[in-house]
Amino acid sequence: MSFSEGFATILHVDMDAFYASVAEKDNPKLKGKAVVVGAGRRGVVSAANYEARKFGIKAAMPIYKAKALAPHAVFIAPDMARYAEVSESVMKIFEDVTPLVEPISLDEAFLDVTGARKLLGTGRQIADSIRKEVEAREGITCSVGIAHNKFIAKIASNHCKPNGVLEIDPGKVLEFLHPLPAKEIWGVGPKTNEQLAKIGLMTVGDIANTPRSTLIRVLGQASGASLYELAWGRDYRDVESVHIEKSISASETFDTDLDQSEEILKEFLRLTEKSVERMREKNFATNTVSIKVRFADFKTITRSKSLDLPVSGTQEIFEVVKKLYLNLHLDRALIRLVGVSLDSLVVNEELHQMVLGERASSWRQADSAIDRIKAKFGRGSLRPARLVEDHEEE
């Protein structure tokens, strides 16, 4: 039986060094140079092109380490608005092929092209067509993994980077999968990989040939059972074309450690405003508000609060953020990074259930007016008063 007969055809399309590739497209002078997306003396690497990766630079690496590895590299600040613009164009290319598109992030997505094969050809032909269209329209490249399920397709795309295609026939999945290192399975991070190594499980094949009960005993019920299934190439999840984000977050690493509550709360307000704007743009409200605080010694703590009703107002959410922070009683501790996360998102309903004692005219109306002004005149046209001075200095 051929690949196309009786099996689904799933593509995992992954842009190659997406942020850096967009920067090179917009500034051709960067071509051939080591490009690192990430700025600030104490920030981290958001992305690195393949030239930079030759020197060992990786995403999430501190900027100072990246500069030590490649002092000649070009370091540029991220431009998330630009990346979102290119991502939207790329996703439209995917949607021209199939309505079953599941974005995973700005630069990757799963496509179920099973129903498109009659019109557009085999999975490989569809993948080649997508790659050509992305390069022609956006001037960047992508890699495509083809398989009968999402798990194998994603691994395949990682093994044909950059600018390649790899198709794994259903009959040869275990031949491809079992020799791979255990860390290539979804959910196997450094800690899990260490646990597996302690009991002699180094490859995917080692995991597959270990009793499920042993994996559950070592890793817990959910992780152990999932790992066993994936090690045998079994993944029953469908491509979900309607994808609701579970959370929206923003964080900031300071150039110098802060210890003044007033300054720290100002940063929390900035991050709250940024996160809430993104949330309302997507017509979501949040049920849970969380904060993250990282100290000078890199110790990190988080705190969260679940709300009685979903909220979407900047001021309402900032009051929760402020209370979470003040309840920590940090007493001039040196803080390196803070973050705000809006979790358990739900679609924001038009009808608003009044809370006992709430004014009929509230921050909700003000937020709606602010959103309309920003939509017309730009994001920086209206800001909280305590952030205006900082904004003018940027």
Q: What are phi and psi of 273, to 5 degrees?
A: -60, -45
Catalytic residue among 102, 108, 138, 267: 108
Helix (H, G, I), strand (E, B) or coil at 102: strand
Contacts of 264 (CB under 8 A, 6+ apart): 258, 325, 335, 338
**107 marked ligand binding residue:** yes
Cβ–Cβ < 8 Å for 276, 342: yes
In three-state form (DSSP H/G/I as H, E/B as E, the rest C), the secondary structure along 303-370 is EEEEEEEEECCHHHHHHHHHHHHHCCCCCCCCEEEEEEEEECCEECCCCCCCCCCCCCCCHHHHHHHH
**259 marked ligand binding residue:** no
d(Cα 184, Cα 158) in Å, to the nearest integer?
Answer: 10
Helix (H, G, I), strand (E, B) or coil at 124: helix
d(Cα 8, Cα 297) in Å, to the nearest integer?
Answer: 49
Helix (H, G, I), strand (E, B) or coil at 250: strand
If you ran DSSP here, which 8-state letter would residue 181 be given?
Answer: B
108 counts as catalytic: yes
Closest listed residue to residue 36, CA positions, set 65, 13, 8: 65
d(Cα 388, Cα 382) in Å, to the nearest integer?
Answer: 8
How are the residues of the chain apportioned to helix, strand and coil, as percentages rounded to the nearest 5?
45, 20, 35
Cβ–Cβ < 8 Å for 13, 111: yes
Residue ranges for the known binding site for Mg(2+) are: 14, 107
Please give the positions annotated as active site. 108
Residue ranges for the known binding site are: 14, 107
